[in-house]
Amino acid sequence: MTVTEIADEVQSQLLSLAQIAQENVVDAIERVSERVRTVLPAAATRFANRLPNPAQLADRGFETTEQWLRSQRRFVAKLGDALTPPV
């Protein structure tokens, strides 16, 4: 196995572990959220309706992150070109 293959395997396993952990967090948050809804008075839930939509906030954050990543990819490509010796 090459170093690259080992790195790819490790990366795949880490991604899998992260996904499992994320699923567990979502499950826990859903359970807590359901319990909170039954306990909180109606006034508190009316306030919660004024908060921004979490999915929209997440989408906005990921869009910004994607823009940064595209910019960084272009930057690194230009660096690579600059460091490539002339043939």
Task: Write the pLDDT tens digit of every residue in 14-36.
Answer: 999 999 999 999 999 999 988 88
What phi and psi, each to the nearest 5 degrees, are found at residue 19? -65, -40
Assign 76 to helix, strand or coil.
helix
Q: Alpha helix locations (H) across the chain? A: 3-39, 42-48, 54-83
> What's CA 54's distance to the chain center, in Å?
13
Task: Write the pLDDT tens digit of every residue in 49-83.
Answer: 788 888 999 999 999 999 999 999 999 999 999 99
